Structure 1
Amino acid sequence: MTSLHFHLRPVALASALAMQALAAVAQTAPAAAEQGGTLATVTVEASADASAGGLTKPFAGGQVARGGRVGILGTQDNMATPFSITTYTNQLIQNQQAQSVADVLLNDPSVRTARGFGNFQELYVIRGFPVYSDDVAYNGLYGMLPRQYIASEFFERVEVFRGANTFLNGAAPFGSGLGGALNLLPKRATSEPLTQVSAGVQTGGEGFIAADIARRFGPDDSTGIRLNAVRRDGGTGIDNEKRDLSAFSLGFDWRSRNVRVSADVGYQDHTLTEGRPSVTPSSTLPIPRVPDAQSNFAQPWTYSSERDKFGTVRAEVDITDSVMAWAAGGVRRSTEDNVLANPTVTNVFGDTTGTRFSNTREDKVSTAEIGVRGKFNTGSVGHTVVASATTFDNDRYNAYAISAASLRNNIYFPFPSPYPIANGPGAFVGNLLSNPGLTDKINTSSLALADTMSFYDDRVLLTLGARRQTIEQTTFAYNTGLQTSDYDESKTTPVAGIVFKATPEVSIYGNYIEGLVKGNVAPTVANNLPVVNGGQAFAPSQTKQTEVGVKYESGGLGASAAYFDTKQPNFFIVNQVYGPNGEQRNRGLEFMLYGEPVKGLRLLGGLTLLDAEQVDTVGGLTDGKDVIGIPNQQFNFGAEWDVPGVPGFALNARLIYTSKQYANATNTQEVPSWNRFDVGARYLVDLGNSRLLTLRARIDNLFNKSYWASVGGTQGSNYLMMGAPRTFIVSGTIDF
């Protein structure tokens, strides 16, 4: 308890100030009623975005919702949007005991989780393209969430958008998201009071305790507050690996007849000690045999630590019955401190070399958005017109130190090495670790305009629009602080989408949409050596995507199928020089299945078939070869079954399969396919006096399979990440 008190002390003041602000808002509500008449009766649900409609309703079975946010087009029904989206609900998050975004995305066949370059950042690969965790949106705003790991207590739902999306969301500021986007919806107070306490433990000894408390008050329950806090501490299923997490969030919302406001403050302190690192294979040898699932070849002095504070606000105003305006903004302040030692395999016996890589980083992020949406008719044609303007600023401060001494180890028989000096002769140092210097400034802004036209009693919906995006980036040299590169470029990204509702149960759709991100910045280190042009910023990257698909929802069953084709420039390192090397073309088919086709049986999963090939490579040497780290098949399927005759008791199971991947551009290094089987159970117990106890148990990787789960993540990289070992998780939740 002492540790919990210590870690949450910085947010105690923030929560006290927030409570005072909320009280002030509540006191002004009667005055607003006196000026404008009695407040309209509002049916309050878990509206995450201060919108009039609130969250989309859950689909049959409650694991996914009927729709989600489609960027500036707003929240849309799945059957009425010309894009592929899936929204995972809090019911699924809780029942599967998900601890992070990656845990939720284990249900999605179009997504695989990898790792950032040389660190422990969660990285999500959608349709073969990365989405960095710092490009995950929070209530529609980029850059607000912790950069390396996002605790599940921060979000009500996880929205997965598949495909290019620059028109809809603006360019992802940290350089990813060309194949999809993730948006997390914060928690809001519901109409009924909520007091929920959870506790649990998992393999390795990690325990947790969490609280979720919500109340509504004021005239017509117009004001809401929701508090979430969690503390996790202890070992994981991997030998000697330990996690320390303290997280806290406070969400507010207030409504009148024509105004809706919501706000969030959050804090996270996350440290991973002796985390199992990624492994770089030798360029001249086959892929090494994977070690035992629970083994750990990390050095005992390695760690990754990050502390984040953020706040957001969003408001909507109904100007007339058919015109609504909105505004949103947010800030984040983050600090990171890492000491890493990522091994490179040197022979078939598993011997490795490496260096100590220390890094400190600070981020200052601010963002804002304004927009207006209106509806009108021209004859028999309905129009929903939307206009939006956004701005984003990030100042990044960085420092690093690479030891000169080479670390020896073995991935099959690991042993500790002495802590090497990182600033001695032959070491590489950039800025001061104790005082990181400014290395990057990113500024983006955009203007967007779109019109969704409806024909034939809304059976045909046509969306046309464009976004003018400006990206400015300036980089500064380590040690000297001198400017090394600078660009300021603007591009227009259009969109065209159409939906044809063939029947109430079937929608056919198609779209053309483009993606745009800031230019890649050459990494400072690769293969344990400095990159010759480290820090160089390249021009923005653009993709073009076409997609067609069909969606079906009837009764308790939903399904979809889609074909997509996307192309983007390919960047990677050749002879320690980073730069563009041809293009990457991803084509594929996606199939999704979800719902509750029969009472008591819930299904969720699908299949993705990917053809990701290299084109226009230098000299045509690898044209037609598979892109590093992208499998041809991804399959996920889960089922949950209410056991007949035992009220409140349910069993669940999930199968995940990923086909082989390649770890080099010539496709001579093959990483085997893998599959994993998870099982679980939950049981509801009525304790009386309006108290309900939910017991949950889960075993991930039931057969304790050892496998290389991913290859790379950042473009052109080939580091290997191991899958987690068999992990048993048990928890209990009491609703008072």
Structure 2
Amino acid sequence: MSRRTSRPILKQTLIACALQAALPILAGTAFAQTADPANTTELTEIVVTSSADASAEGLSKPYAGGQVARGGRAGILGTQDMMDTPFSITSYTNELIQNQQAKSVADVLQNDPTVRIARGFGNFQELYMIRGFNVYSDDMSYNGLYGLLPRQYVAAELLERVEVFRGASAFLNGAAPGGSGIGGSINVVPKRAGNDPLTQVTIGVESGGHYQVGVDLSRRFGEDKASGLRVNAVRRDGETSVDNEKRELSLLSLGWDWRSRDVRVSTDLGYQEHKISQPRPSLYVGTVVPTAPDASKNFAQPWTYSNSRDAFGTVRGEIDFSDAVTGWAAAGIRKGRESNRLANPLITAANGDMSTYRWENERQDDVATGEVGLRGKLQTGSVKHAWTASASAFQSKEYNAFKGSAYNALQTNLYNPVAYAMPALDGYGEGNLSNPPLVGKLEMSSVALADTLSFLDDQLLLTLGARQQSMESYGYSAVTGTQESHNKKTKTSPIAGIVFKASHQVSVYANYIEGLEKGPVAPAYTNNRFSLFEPQVSEQKEVGVKYDFGKFGGTLAYFMTSRPSSYVNGANVFVVEGEQKNRGVELSLFGNVQRGLRLLGGLTVLDTEQKTSVASLNGKDSIGVPKTMANLGVEWDVPGMSGFSVNSRVVYTGSQYANGTNTLEIPSWTRVDLGARYLSTIANKLVTWRARVDNVANRDYWASSGGYPGQSYLVLGAPRTFTLSASIEF
């Protein structure tokens, strides 16, 4: 069966499986309450704990205020409490996701003072900048496995938690297959059935007439309620707050888990289709940075679009061989298809003059990944050990074809856009758009060992480990199909981390950890286009202090990270040379300031520097890295109005350079968002009303000035956007 014909069948199979599995719970009735994944129910022989990763411990418990959790996943070390790990991790909860009416992972990460949202190079992929380094959306992990999530956009309805790990993580997670993740990594946790049944329907609308309808179903069943099923279905459609831009989303996900005393198994199936018609493009920077236009203005050509379709599945199991030793195994696959017709403009003058052209792209991805491991505990004298051993494998195949019209032949203006009839594809191109050829293959494998030693009655924790990883990349001609490039590198990535618990409220930590990323590929417009470079190694050093006062907590950290630089030189050749060094201080805050008043936010101060033999770049700041980022989110339960709360969020981002020589700059910007939530009952059914206004002042601003290493492109911030929804529990 061909790849093209297998995708509709796979889609139908996933939907059929989910609906068939959902029928038993749809037929039943039960008193509906909000599902709490952290709840446990003591049974005769088994403790049922909802767990996305099939672990005995389940999810880390929510911290006071419910917006973040007490800990998060630290790669193969598993879920750890924030006071016990020598790393900085924040895990955003489903309560926060729902209350802020987040639509995607990017919406959730708007709350993080160490993260800023950008966009992929030449497409509409969500991209996240952590500590000034990019993390592609296809480098997010799904329950600990890379490459399984939709590549361009991940809907928030899939998520129970969004976990942000700050810093390099080649040892903990393995190298990210997309070639990013030096500044941090993101893991998303799928939903599981809680102990209480849930039947929730959500309807909503936002500016432009964009509507949404969602269903969230959850049941536990069988002997001792050992099996659980969670089904989510979502449909969104309509125009957005950007003029003439339309988005569609169809999502179906199924999460199932089962457990006995010593065995735990979970599986996830998902299907997501995301379409954008006339999407507002990024703006390539030439010799000027124009003033940001009206935030609602759309300078896209009317025939442009970006469509993606993904089907994915995972299975994970864990078995207790004894009280001291546990084994686990996990595997997953994804098949994705992307189709784009783009016209990204190049700005040529301060008055807004720009040029563009048609660019068609077709892409398919086939991904398979898996890992096995053992973890256990032992004691030697007075020293306790928590050891881990694992092995992993990953393979991806990329099929791609593209074709363009005459380069930059369409003249338009940023402030007064000109709409053109769609030009013919008579320019440069490679491959067959109707049947994209294989252009790249990546194979990775690794083994890892780690030991956390505990001294002084668990007051001092020392983590040591190493991962040996092999990365092998192949590049193929889209015209002839012959192999054009091949790189292989085996690298051992060490880790050393220490935690000293000065008291029950304060932990001091330090770590040294390395990053490993797939070598970059030269962009299509360079003279060495599609040249594949060797994998790159980075180094990180970090010290910090964490505090937990029961109701309020946070982290203060200093870090320094260096990685190889890549850029296009004066001869229009893409090179990897020199290094980018980022150093900074981070402060994160969360919890209850007082009863009914919750705070979430922090501050990041960054210093970034390029070190290179090119005089015009040496010593200059890196593209798209602001010196200051600050967030302050406050939620308040209004006294005397039971069930009513209001919230606000202020996001500040400092100025950013838009080119490597630091002659072009976008100004700093501040955005204010407001929201409210009210709980009521209608016909004895709990209804949660939510209202939100993002960018209250309708600020016009350039949100980011880069993303892909060494490239300059601007993304216009979203206009004022109103969102209203109601969630009804039956």
TM-score, length of structure 1 as denominator length: 0.94
Aligned to 1:191: 195
- 1:517-666 to structure 2, matched below 5 A, reads 517-524=517-524, 530-574=525-569, 575-615=571-611, 617-666=612-661
Alignment partner of 1:227 out of 231, 251, 274: 231
Say if 1:108 and 1:606, in contact at 8 Å, map to a contact too: yes
- Give 1:597 deviation, angstroms: 2.2
Code of the aligned partner of 1:714: Y
- SS of match in other structure, 1:175: coil
Task: Look up the SS of the partner of 1:436 in the other structure.
Answer: coil
Q: Deviation of residue 692 (structure 1)?
A: 0.6
CA separation in 1, counterparts of 2:469 and 2:44? 40
The match for 2:447 is: 447
**3-state SS of the aligned residue for 1:79?**
coil
Equivalent of 1:345 in 320, 331, 347:
347
Which residue among 185, 200, 207 is the counterpart of 2:204?
Answer: 200
Task: Please give the TM-score of this superposition, normalised by the length of structure 2.
Answer: 0.95
What is the rounded CA distance, in whole Å, between the counterparts of 2:125 and 2:310 in structure 1? 14
Partner residue, 1:326: 328
Amino acid at match of 2:489: E
Separation of aligned partners in 2, 1:91 and 1:386? 32
Taking the aligned partners of 1:345 and 1:679, their CA distance within structure 2 comes to: 34
Distance 1:8 1:519, change over 3 A: closer
Secondary structure of 1:64's partner? Answer: coil
**Counterpart position of 2:216:** 212
Secondary structure of the residue that 1:109 maps to in structure 2? Answer: coil
Q: Deviations over 1:435-489 (max 9, x none)?
A: 1000000000000000000001101000000000100000011211121110111
Of residues 726-735 and 478-487 in structure 1, the stretch that sits farther from structure 2 once superposed is: 478-487
Q: What secondary structure does 2:269 align onto?
A: strand
Map of 1:32 onto structure 2: none
- CA apart distance, 1:46: 3.2
Partner of 2:402: 400
2:358 to 337, 356, 359: 356
> Structure 1 residue 417 and structure 2 residue 388: aligned?
no
Which residue identity does 2:123 align to in structure 1?
Answer: N
Residue 183 of structure 2 aligns with which residue? 179
Aligned partner of 1:390 in structure 2 is 392
SS of the residue aligned with 2:53? coil
Structure 1 counterpart of 2:422, one-letter code: Y
**Cα gap change, 1:356/1:15 in structure 2, threshold over 3 Å: closer, same or farther?**
closer
Q: Report if the CA contact (8 A) 1:555-1:597 is conserved.
A: no
AA aligned opposite 1:252: W
What amino acid does structure 2 have at the position aligned with 1:318?
D
Q: Which amino acid aligns with 1:479?
A: V
Instruction: Report the 3-state secondary structure (helix = DSSP H, G, I; strand = E; otherwise coil) of the residue aligned with 1:107.
Output: coil
Contact 1:452-1:464 at 8 Å conserved across structures: yes
AA in 1 matched with 2:252: F
Q: What is the CA deviation profile of residues 301-353 of structure 1, one whole-angstrom value per residue up to 9, with x for unaligned ones?
A: 00000000000000000000010000000000001100000001111211111
Please tell me the root mean square deviation across aligned C-alpha atoms, in Å: 1.6
**Contact 1:614 1:627 survives alignment (8 Å):** yes
- The equivalent of 2:108 in structure 1 is 104
Q: Distance in 2 between matches of 1:23 and 1:644?
A: 43
Deviations 1:83-119 (A, max 9, x none): 0000000000000000000000000000001000000
Contact 1:11 1:248 in 2 (8 A): no
Distance 2:154 2:572 in 1: 33
Matched letter for residue 462 of structure 2? L
Q: CA deviation at 1:535?
A: 1.4
1:500: which partner in 2?
500
Distance in 1, matches of 2:184 and 2:279, equals 28
1:211-246 Cα offsets, whole Å, 9 max, x none, are: 000100011100000000100000110000000110
Report matched runs for 1:84-95 at 5 Å: 84-95=88-99
Q: Write the distance in 2 (CA, Å) between the matches of 1:83 and 1:160.
A: 11
SS, match of residue 282 in structure 2: coil
- Whole-angstrom CA distance in 1 between matches of 2:482 and 2:550: 63
The residue that corresponds to 2:700 in the other structure is: 706
* Percent identity over paired residues: 57
* Kept in 2: contact 1:15–1:250 (CA 8 A): no
Partner of 1:527: none
Residue identity in the other structure for 1:591: L
Q: 1:40–1:256: 8 Å Cα contact kept in structure 2?
A: no
Contact 2:226-2:258 at 8 Å conserved across structures: yes
Aligned equivalent of 1:245, options 230, 234, 249: 249
Conservation of the 8 A alpha-carbon contact between 1:475 and 1:486: yes
Matched with 1:55 is 59
SS class of match (1:88): strand
Q: Does 1:474 align with 2:474?
A: yes
1:84–1:161 contact (8 Å) kept in structure 2: yes
Deviation at 1:12, TM superposition (A): 5.4
Shift of 1:555: 2.2
Structure 1 residue 18: Cα displacement:
5.3
Aligned to 2:437: 437
CA distance in 2, matches of 1:652, 1:22: 36
2:714 to 688, 710, 720: 720
Quick check: 1:214–1:226 contact (8 Å CA) kept in 2?
Answer: yes
How far did 1:666 drift? 1.4
What amino acid is the match of 1:335?
R
Give the partner amino acid of 2:162.
V
Is the 1:443–1:472 Cα contact (8 Å) retained in structure 2?
yes
Instruction: Tell me the SS of whatever aligns to 2:660.
Output: coil
Q: Distance in 1 between matches of 2:609 and 2:654?
A: 15
Secondary structure, counterpart of 1:16 in structure 2:
helix
Figure out how many residues of one structure are paired with residues of the other and give that number. 705
- CA displacement 1:509-547 (0-9 Å, x = unmatched): 0000000011111122xxxxx321111110101100000
| Pairwise CA distance, 1:625 | 1.1
Q: Distance in 2 between matches of 1:312 and 1:619?
A: 46
Residue ranges of structure 2 left out of the alignment (5+ in a row): 1-6, 25-41
Residue 293 of structure 1, CA deviation: 0.6
